[in-house]
Chains A and B, each alone.
Chain A
Amino acid sequence: MLIETCILVGLLVAVAVYLILQPGFVRILFGFVLLSNAINLLVLLASGEPRGRKVPIVGDAVGGLPPVDPLPQALVLTAIVIGFGVIAYLVVLLYRTFLDQGTADAEELFADAPGREPAAPKAPTQEAGR
């Protein structure tokens, strides 16, 4: 029934959400990496119990076992690669923000922009949009 993997996915998500809610850039990044692992596992769970089944390569008779569902695997494979692209972008984004703002802390980033005031003078996107 894969109960242990279900609980593992839940724990991964819990820790990931906790980390993303932290103010530090690095913690947010770590949370994001964990989240992407958790979701990949969740999708893979859809292929069902792997015991008594073989890898999804047809015409490869391993004791006559039926192969597992290949579709979730294909989905997860691209998700891993795309996830890497997103994480890489996030890394550079944090790096750039750090260079521009001199802080690696999401709270400090908006420290002088309390409440509803738009944080325009500091937001790096301002310049890009001009």
Chain B
Amino acid sequence: MMPLLLTAMAVPLLGAPLLAVAGRWLGRHTCWPALAIALTSLACVALAAAGQEPMAQRTASLPWIPALGLGIDLLADGLSLFFGLVVSGMGALIVLYAAGYLDDHYEHHGRFYAYLALFMAAMLGTVFSDHVLLLFVFWELTGIASFLLIGFLHGEAVSRAGARMALLTTGITGLVLMAGLILTGLEAGTWRISELMAGGHLDASSPSVTVAFVLVAVGAFGKSAQFPFHFWLPNAMAAPTPVSAYLHSATMVKLGVFLVARLFPVFREVELWTPLLVTAGFTTLILGAWMALCATDLKAILAYSTVSQLGFLIGFYGIGSREGVHYDLMHVANHVFYKGCLFMVAGIIDHCTGTRDVRELAGLGRKAPFLATIALVATATMAGLPGTIGFVSKEYMLKEKFDYWGGDEFINWFPLVAVALASALKVAFCLRLWLDVFPGKMPGRMAEEFHRPGWLIQVPPTILAVGCLVFGLAPGLMTPALRTLSVPGLHLPDITDLHLWHGVTREFVLSLAIVASGAAVYALMRATDWRAAVVPGWMRFDRGFEAAVAALPKVAKRVTALLRADRPADFLPILFGFVVVALGAALWQGGLFGAFVEKAAQAPVDPLRAFVGGLIVVAMALVLALPRWSGQLIALSIVGFLVTFLFVLFRAPDLALTQILIEAATLVFVMLLLARFPRSVEAGEQRRAVRPARRVLHVALAAGAGIVVTVLAFAVVSERHGDPAGQFYLANSLPLAKGTNAVNTILVDFRGFDTLLEVTVLGIATLGVLGLLTRHRRPTDTRGALPGEAGMDDAANAGTPTIARGGEAVVAAPSGAGITGDRSIIFRTVAAILFFLINIFALYLLWRGHNVPGGGFIAGVGSGLSFILLALAYGVERAQRVLRADPVRVAATGLAIAFATAVVPVLLGQPLLKHWNWKLKELPFIGDLAVGTPLVFDVGVYLVVVGVTCKLVFVLARSVDGLGALSGEETRRYASSVEEPIEGPVAAAGETARRVRHAD
């Protein structure tokens, strides 16, 4: 059973991306592979159902995340198999229907069928789940697929609004459902649905179980569009009709019903079960029927009647006796047959005439008699006329109601009244649906535009209509299936043979009255020109919802405007002030200020560190005091290099190596920036006078921050943890990670996952830089502009660097020359030799990093610096040519390698980032050599750092040299997608959609 169900789910799931790709070549013919997929699923589910025994439950599970108790747990019983058959069977019919419906006027056929397949997989997953959380995951996936399908024609505002409304409503209620399911699982102590159904896990009288039930019910109401969430379903009709027929009548909206049925044995004992489900369900039943009568769009009528029918089904479970119910699956099947058929017919009418308005339509019967016949059968089924499955369903429903007569008066009478009233209204709009559309004479203009429906598109509704008739005339055919598909706890075992005729019973009399009054309502409405058929404004929940959604950003904007401070001078003091006060208060609380004052005086001072620290302070003072940027930058670099020395004193050779290389790279980088700012800016900065009050504030904040951090640092060093975490890494570096350099083994092995994400951050920073340098030039801005596309001309050969175009002094480099302007022959020669030396050294660091100071980060910065050196000596173009590859690609390759080392062990059944090491003994010249996957990971890190460093410097250096920040090819590669106006394709899609509307 397990392989069958897994195949049924996996085929559409894996087929979806293939369909999306295949759509490019196959166009509208993508339907055929999609049909094959749907039929495969159908066959699998049918085979699984063939082996089903009455009242049997078969479960199977596949471990997924055993540590969390999560598994792919599947449950095959009558309910899930029935819904599985509906989903896959309707899926196949819908794909066939879509083959005729989605003609060449539509685009993106591949995507459409891919979404359908994804939806089908998600639905099958939901119904076959035996795990509460797995069910929820699939449940939400159906919502996402529904969102994508409703918004398929996203060029139209209606589609977008409908899709958003559906997603938000089902999504929010879905979250409520999740809370309910989790609460249920925690209360019961099991997550398996089959175990929950067996009973004995929950105490129905406990309040938390009641809460769990209400939360779950809200989730079910949201999905099944029950009052007060009923408004999203009619708006979802913006989807192409095959989607409406499939998701929004036959399958997805039935999930709420499914869930109620699924959890019937679990929650039936809860006190609130009957009142809640009966009230919500039967209220929806009446409301939906009334709104369907008021609607004029064919699809809207059908949508509201779906809402109504779903209410009926939910309410039906509400009045079910504690022991179980009868024939519920027949009621569901009844709705699937006629509603699916009617939606398909509505789509065909839309296709043939270009309208779905019942007030405009007329006389279709003469033009398309076959279609009229199908529609007649389905409409009669909906109205519950004898000879159709609808009649059988209604009779048994009324019988069930009459049989259930106990409990309070409200529960006794409300459902009966609701069913009678709604059924009468249903008869009325059924009459309208058929009589206003098919008989009579077609208006002239419509007759001219009318074109006959193809035979293919009429096959699926015909199949459904035949089903309506066959099971209506011979309901006994369904009895064996209902017996086989019975579920313990949900169904009563005594299923008698279904019969068409029971004699003149109360049900029959009531049915007659319903039909008669329905006809009367129709006649009355028609006579008064449907003036009474108006939905009152307060009932339009969808408008209220839209208004609320639209108001949200406005409120957010207003709140932001209240709280925001644009100028850094306004908000930075607040920020720093908060940190100082919060941190200071915490330290004060801990008595750390006192401890500092007490101990600091006697604390021993290391003379060497004090000396280096003193030098750093002097350099810092120079940063503050020197008038020119160049001087300040040099002082800043001195600080950095002296910190390197401190790292050495702290016995951190890896850090010292990294710091010294990074410091050099930072120096070059900041220098490039300063080279871009004209001297006038520097002069302006010196002239600027800060108000004294501000200056006092700044000094006070700086002093406060300094003091607080000093005390914090002192607290850190004076109260060391007795057993620092580092001891573990020291002890296990060699035995576990097979490397002697503990810092490196932490980076690549113990905490390799952190490193992986850190290099990813580096990659993101680079992309951010590229984004900043490739964005559109501001058209209105005349003050400055990005250097234009200077093309491929080589600055190294240009003699003097080109100064960027773009107008004023702003873009002129201060020295009158770019960084590559003045190159001595000595510098160039030395740089060439150094380039090789640095790289050899870097590779050595990379190779040996596991055991002696070094590693991917350090080697990467080293190699990156060598290219920077080359760029300084020979120009950026030349350095880029030496690197050959695009630095971004180098970085991406590195990232891919690093991720591959992380993921490959998982595929081999090992934990993430599992490393292997081998020792090669007595190699010639080298001796013993340890190699392993950590080195591969480190190579990935190395490549990322090289690529990132090079790219960052190259783009800025090019820009400073007056070249375009990106070469012509790079601009095409990165910028084209950015600069393409995003409205373009959307507008085109809207155009297509409009053309579809007025097709032929």
Interface residues of A, Cβ cutoff 8 Å to B: 1-15, 17-24, 26-30, 33-34, 37-38, 40-42, 44-51, 53-60, 67-74, 76-78, 80-89, 91-96, 98-107, 109-110, 113, 116, 118-119, 124, 127-128
A30 surroundings in chain B (CB, below 8 A): 623, 632-633, 636
- In the complex, the answer to whether A26 meets B685 with C-beta atoms within 8 Å is yes
Partner of B566, one of A47, A50, A53, A118: A118
Is B270's beta carbon under 8 Å from chain A?
no
Q: Is B495 an interface residue (CB 8 A)?
A: no
Instruction: Give the shortest distance, in Å, between B231 (CB) and chain A (any CB).
Output: 31
**A29–B659 contact, CB under 8 A?**
no
Which of B726-742 touch A at CB < 8 Å?
A: 726-727, 729-730, 733-734, 740-742
Q: Is B328 an interface residue (CB 8 A)?
A: no
Residues of B within 8 A of A70 (CB): 726, 729-730, 733, 742-743, 746
Q: Which residues of A contact B751 (CB under 8 A)?
A: 74
Check B669–A87 contact: CB distance below 8 A: yes
Instruction: List, in ascending order, chain B residues with CB within 8 A of A18's CB.
Output: 624, 698-699, 701-702
CB pair A107 B569 closer than 8 Å: yes
Is the beta-carbon distance between B568 and A106 smaller than 8 angstroms? yes
In the complex, the answer to whether A57 meets B740 with C-beta atoms within 8 Å is yes
The answer, yes or no, to whether B929 is at the interface (CB within 8 Å) is no
Please choose the segment from B376-384, B710-718, B917-925 that sits at the chain A interface, where 4 or more of its residues have CB less than 8 A away: B710-718
Query: Which B residues between 745 and 769 are near A, CB-CB below 8 angstroms?
Result: 746-747, 751, 754-755, 758, 761-762, 765-766, 768-769
B568 near A58 with CB under 8 A, answer no
Tell me if B713 and A5 are in contact (CB < 8 A): yes
Please tell me if the beta carbons of B784 and A15 are within 8 angstroms of each other in the complex: no
Contact B741 A119 (CB under 8 A): no
Interfacial chain A residues near B768, Cβ < 8 Å: 89, 92
Can you name the residue of chain B whose Cβ is closest to the Cβ of A1?
B603
Q: Chain A at the B interface: mostly helix, strand, loop or mixed?
A: helix
Q: Which residues of A contact B566 (CB under 8 A)?
A: 110, 113, 118-119
Closest residue to B677 on the A side, CB-wise? A104
List residues of chain A with CB within 8 A of the CB of B948: 85
Query: B861 within 8 Å of A by Cβ?
Result: yes
Number of interface residues of B (CB under 8 A): 126
Residue from A20, A38, A68, A110 within 8 A of B709 (CB atoms): A38
Known contacts A85-B765, A99-B785; is A3 also within 8 Å of B772 by CB? no
B726 touches A69 (CB 8 A): yes
A87, B729: Cβ atoms under 8 Å?
Answer: no
Taking the closest CB of chain A, its distance from the CB of B729, in whole angstroms, is: 6
- Note all chain A residues with C-beta closer than 8 A to B658: 77, 80-81
Cα distance A10–B706 in the bound complex, in angstroms: 4
For the complex, give the distance between the alpha carbons of A121 and B853 in Å.
51
Closest approach, in angstroms, between the C-beta of A51 and any C-beta of chain B?
A: 7
Q: How far is the CA of A55 from the CA of B716 in the complex (A)?
A: 21
Residues of A within 8 A of B727 (CB): 69
Contacts of B672 in A (CB 8 A): 91
Q: With a CB–CB cut-off of 8 A, which chain A residues contact B784?
A: 98-102
Query: Which residues of chain B are near A109, meaning CB under 8 Å?
Result: 567
The residue on A at minimum CB distance from B567 is A110
Known: A17-B576, A30-B633, A128-B775. 15 other contacts (CB 8 A): A1-B604, A8-B613, A9-B709, A14-B705, A22-B690, A23-B568, A46-B720, A47-B652, A82-B761, A87-B670, A92-B955, A104-B685, A107-B567, A107-B569, A127-B775
- Nearest Cβ on chain B to A16's Cβ, whole angstroms: 8
Any A CB within 8 A of the CB of B707 = yes
Contacts of B573 in A (CB 8 A): 21
Known contacts A15-B620, A71-B725, A113-B566; decide if A104 and B681 are in contact (CB<8 Å).
yes
Interface pair B651/A56, CB less than 8 Å apart: yes
A and B contact pairs by CB, cutoff 8 A, 22 listed:
A6-B717, A11-B620, A14-B706, A20-B572, A30-B623, A33-B670, A38-B709, A44-B655, A53-B651, A55-B651, A58-B730, A59-B740, A68-B650, A70-B742, A73-B654, A78-B758, A84-B949, A87-B670, A92-B772, A93-B772, A95-B956, A109-B567
- In the assembled complex, how far is the CB of residue A93 from the closest CB belonging to chain B, in whole angstroms? 6
Separation of A86 and B786 alpha carbons in the complex (Å) = 22
Chain B, residue nearest A27 (CB): B685
User: Among A87, A95, A106, which residue has the most Cβ atoms of chain B within 10 A?
Assistant: A95
Closest 7 CB pairs of A and B: A14-B706, A10-B710, A69-B726, A102-B783, A70-B742, A1-B603, A18-B702
Indicate with 1 or 0, residue by residue over B556-594, a CB within 8 angstroms of chain A CB atoms. Answer: 000001101011110011001000000000000000000
Are A81 and B769 touching (Cβ within 8 A)? no
Known: A44-B647, A44-B652, A89-B768. A17 touches B706 (CB 8 A): yes
Q: Are B705 and A13 in contact (CB under 8 A)?
A: yes
Kindly report which residue of chain B lies nearest to residue A83, judged by CB atoms: B662
Q: Is B674 an interface residue (CB 8 A)?
A: yes
A98-B640 contact, Cβ under 8 Å, with A8-B617, A71-B724: no
A57 touches B650 (CB 8 A): no
Given the interface pairs A55-B651, A57-B740, the reply to whether A74 lies near B569 with Cβ below 8 Å is no
B688 within 8 Å of A (CB atoms): yes
B633: nearest chain-A partner, CB-CB: A30
Contact A105 B684 (CB under 8 A): yes
B724 touches A91 (CB 8 A): no
The answer on a CB contact under 8 Å between B673 and A6 is: no
Interface centre among B566, B636, B682 (most CB of A within 10 A): B566
Q: When the two chains form the complex, which single residue of B616, B741, B742 contacts A8, counting CB atoms closer than 8 Å?
A: B616
Q: Which residue of A lies closest to B607 (CB)?
A: A4
Contact at B567–A95, with CB atoms within 8 Å? Answer: no
Expressed in whole angstroms, the minimum distance between the Cβ of B190 and any Cβ of chain A is 41
Kindly supply a per-residue 1/0 record for chain B positions 764-781, scoring 1 wherever the CB is within 8 Å of any chain A CB and 0 otherwise: 011011011101101001
0/1 string, B176-198, CB within 8 A of A gives 1:
00000000000000000000000
**What distance in Å separates the Cβ of A66 from its nearest Cβ neighbour in chain B?**
9
Q: Is there an interface contact between B734 and A59, defined as CB atoms closer than 8 Å?
A: yes
Residue on A with the closest CB to B766? A85
- CB neighbours of A83 from chain B (8 A): 662
List chain A residues, Cβ under 8 A from B659.
40, 80
Q: How far is the CB of B714 from chain A (nearest CB, A)?
A: 5
CB pair B734–A41 under 8 Å, yes or no, is no
**Nearest-CB distance from A39 to chain B (Å)?**
9
Instruction: List the B side residues contacting A73 at CB < 8 Å.
Output: 652, 654-655, 743
- Which B residues are CB-close (under 8 A) to A96? 772-773, 775
B26 at the interface (CB under 8 A from A): no
Contact B624 A15 (CB under 8 A): yes
Check: B144 CB closer than 8 A to any chain A CB: no
